[in-house]
Amino acid sequence: MSIESTINQLREELRQHNYNYYILDNPTISDYEFDMKLKELQDLEEKHPEFFDANSPTQRVGGTITKNFNTVVHDFRMYSLDNSYSKEDLLDWETRIKKLVDGDVQYTCELKYDGASMNLTYQNGKLLRAVTRGDGVQGDEVTANVKTINTVPLQLKGNFPDRFDIRGEIVLPIAGFIKMNEERIATDEEPYRNPRNTASGSLKLQDSAEVAKRPLECLLYSIKGNSLNITTQFEGLEKAREWGFKVPNEAKLVNSIDEVFEYVAYWDEHRHNLPYEIDGVVVKVNSLYQQDELGFTAKAPRWAMAYKFKAEQVSTTLNEITYQVGRTGAITPVANLKPVQLAGTIVKRASLHNADQIEKLNIREGDEVYVEKGGEIIPKIIAVDFTKRPSDSEPTKYITNCPECKTELVRIEGEAKHYCPNYNRCPPQVIGRIQHFISRKAMDIEGLGGETVALLVNEGLIKNYSDLYDLTIEQVIPLERMAEKSAENLINGIEASKQIPFERVLFALGIRYVGETVAKKLAKHYKSIDALMFASSLDLITVDEIGERIAESVVEFFNSEDNREIINRLQSFGVQLEISAEKLANQTNKLNGQSFVVSGVFETVSRNELKKLIEDNGGKVSSSISSKTSFVVAGDKMGPSKRTKAENLNIPILTEQAFLRLLK
């Protein structure tokens, strides 16, 4: 047998043994025999580098050093999940679903593992890359570290698609976490706080050999791709198992919401028997066709819901109430607590939200308070133990002046929060706005982080985000922890941000109430910052989904002479403050004022491409039929109840081809 054949045979044997041990939990050789085969393969690969394979079993031991993790855009966006906390929430969700889809609905119930979300891309059966969730649109590539996880197959088995993404959770089993902490305590090191944070932190270690020492696992739950030949979520789980992935067996296909409740109740009681931490259950509409019909909101799929188990509670002492200033000037009172262990972490602080919340809780410094983690993540105070209140306690008096710049606070009628009106001179507001401007979803300036922004402001180098474009390498090199290469990267990142499209620049400006979605609508409607700048409140509220509050905020922003000056400077630097000619060429107002519902399966264009065509030509896409619907675009398998509703309301039904002719 040739050297190459021997190497390939060893690789295949080791892959099968790895699968037997980690996926099937049924080893067929001893650990010693496995290690001997692995060493034999390592020796052969070292002597014959011409036969290198990035997905060889030897790559699992790590050793790759990654100093900077590249940012990668996901092929398919990774959405968050909406949360529910009661049966009533799930029933409301089911009611919404049944209004939007026809026929019976089955559900796949899965456990919600508490770890770090991961997107794995496979091409021709080999692991191409592993990318963290990030902000859902893009994340950090951590392929070298993920290759060390034995439950991530490097080479697939069976009949798999040419290219696809599979999503899962990187978790640290409880037994492995306890063992790691025992070893750290034995060497006088600080123990890790909880499995989730330890798993997440492991993925960003620079040395993959260190990651290989941690007993991480990857539990898979969702396949994304084109032409997958899969029709349901549950079928996808079964296929993933066949291809060699570790898919939890606890997933269950059910036929009614009552069966969902039974699944939730069972695992709420038995979750502590699992080898991993879970914080709830995920319920998904099983049919991928129905999922496609239901679509997404701006943040989450309509076809899935996370049911969160009741949060853990503890009591502790409220030592002091302090106040934070946000980038919009909003004041947030913060409870500084006697440190307490809660759901695996030490909690020292919790938001009190606003003056109304303080009054509602009747909370005072020195009180014994009950704290829980909302969604097991964010600490919040839920009540005061009045039986333990000190006799000399004083009612809480909400501050009247900004804790940073001492300006008198204002409270707008109908709003819960107090605000510092010193918009352009209050340091936390200035720093916060620039940090928002450079953030990933906004200008995404590489080489510039929040701490550096604070340094630049405190050193007097910048006073607002337009000043960034005046910075030079010579100015930033003297900053703390700033080397010449870092300074070059920062200036290059600022220069590159001039190519960010108008809708993201508009979001980056930090206009109150103008989030990503609103910024896109305003950019599309007005086409340029100049047109938007001179729009009146009455004009603005004619834009789809722009209400009075948003309109007034936009007008107020552009009425500020300081803000207009900043916009003028951004224009002079070449920042994109209008929709590009290329993008405008693909947009028309042919469908202006018309609302469309898209239903069914299409041949010439995909459902998403069809929706984009509607929006690019000035139309609005809605998820449900009403008297305000202008047209229904119907493909194959359109639900009969939708067709009946459209006919009863006398709404024209267009075929795919008729719609495309309408555009021409």
Task: Determine the Cα–Cα distance for residues 194 and 345; give it in Å rounded to an integer.
Answer: 7
Least Cα distance to 326 among 242, 408, 404 occurs for 404
Q: Got the DSSP string for 108-154?
A: EEEEEE-SEEEEEEEETTEEEEEEE-TTSSEEEB-HHHHTT-TTS-S
Q: CA 510, CA 558: separation in Å to the nearest integer?
A: 12
Surface-to-core class of residue 151, CB atoms within 10 Å of its CB (0-12 exposed, 13-18 middle, 19+ buried): buried
Q: Do 385 and 333 form a contact (C-beta atoms < 8 A)?
A: no
Please tell me the distance from the alpha carbon of residue 462 to that of residue 435, in angstroms, as a whole number: 12
Starting at the edge strand found earlier in the chain, the sheet holding 653-655 runs 620-622, 595-599, 631-634, 653-655
- Considering only CA atoms, which of 376, 379, 305 is closest in space to residue 80? 305
- DSSP letter for 367, please: -
Residue 490 and residue 476 in contact, taking contact as beta carbons nearer than 8 Å: yes
Q: Rounded distance, CA 300 to CA 621, Å?
A: 17
Cβ–Cβ < 8 Å for 316, 338: yes
Catalytic residue among 67, 87, 112, 179: 112
Judge whether 165 and 224 are in contact, CB under 8 Å.
yes
Cα angle for residues 152, 157, 163 (degrees, 5° grid): 75
Q: CA 176, CA 149: separation in Å to the nearest integer?
A: 13
The per-residue DSSP string of 191-220 comes to: PPS-HHHHHHHHTT-SBHHHHHTS--EEEE
Give the containing element (helix H, strand E) for 18: helix 3-22
The residues, ordered by sequence, that sit 6+ positions from 624 with a Cβ below 8 Å of its Cβ are: 99, 100, 597
Is the CB of residue 149 less than 8 Å from the CB of residue 172?
no
- Look up residue 568 and give its amino acid: N
Instruction: Please report the beta strands in 486-630, taking only residues with DSSP state E, as ranges in sequence order.
Output: 595-599, 620-622
Residue 65: Cβ within 10 Å count: 11
Calculate the alpha carbon distances from 420 to 5, 121, 325, 400, 464 in Å.
72, 47, 8, 10, 17
Q: Are 45 and 51 in contact (CB under 8 A)?
A: yes
Is residue 112 annotated as a catalytic residue, yes or no?
yes
Identify any residues that bridge with 598 across adjacent strands, giving them in sequence order: 633
> From CA 516, how far away is CA 318, in angstroms rounded?
37
Catalytic residues: 112
